[in-house]
Amino acid sequence: MNKLIKKADVLIEALPYIRTFKGKTVVIKYGGHAMTDAPLKERFAQNVVLLKYVGLNPVIVHGGGPQIDQMLDRLGMVAKFRHGVRVTDAATMEIVEMVLAGRINMEIVDLLNRHGGQAVGLSGKDGGLMLTKPLTAKAWAESIEKDLDSDGSDADFGFVGDVKSIDPTLLLKLQEDNYIPVIAPIGTDREGNTYNINADLVAGAIAAALKAEKLVMLTDVKGIRDANGRHLPTVSRKDVQRMVKRGTISEGMLPKVHACLDALAGGVGKAHIIDGRTPHAILLEIFTHKGIGTEIVA
Ligand SMILES: Nc1ncnc2c1ncn2[C@@H]1O[C@H](COP(=O)(O)OP(=O)(O)O)[C@@H](O)[C@H]1O
Ligand SMILES: CC(=O)N[C@@H](CCC(=O)OP(=O)(O)O)C(=O)O
What global pTM score does this model have?
0.95
Tell me, using a 6 A CB cutoff, whether residue 33 lines ligand 1: yes
Tens of each residue's pLDDT in the chain, 298 residues: 788 998 899 889 999 999 999 999 999 999 999 998 999 999 999 999 999 999 999 999 999 999 999 999 999 999 999 888 999 999 999 999 999 999 999 999 999 999 999 999 999 999 999 999 999 888 888 877 766 655 545 568 999 999 999 999 999 999 999 999 999 999 999 999 999 999 999 999 999 999 999 999 999 999 999 999 999 999 999 999 999 989 999 888 999 999 999 999 999 999 999 999 999 999 999 998 889 999 999 8
Q: Which class is 23-297 in CATH?
A: alpha beta
CB of 158 closer than 6 angstroms to any ligand 2 atom:
no
Q: Is 65 annotated as a binding residue?
A: yes
For residue 216, give every residue at least 6 positions away whose Cβ sits within 8 Å of its Cβ, in sequence order, or none.
26, 27, 28, 29, 271, 272, 274, 282, 285, 286
Distance CA(277)–CA(99), nearest Å, equals 21
CB count in 10 Å sphere of residue 10: 11
ipTM metric: 0.96
Between the CA of 145 and the centroid of ligand 1 the distance, in Å, is: 16
Collapsing DSSP states into helix, strand and coil, what is residue 272? strand
Alpha-helix residue ranges (DSSP H) falling in the chain: 2-21, 38-53, 65-74, 90-97, 105-114, 137-143, 169-176, 199-209, 237-246, 253-265, 281-287
Comparing CA positions, the residue from 266, 263, 59 lying closest to residue 175 is 59
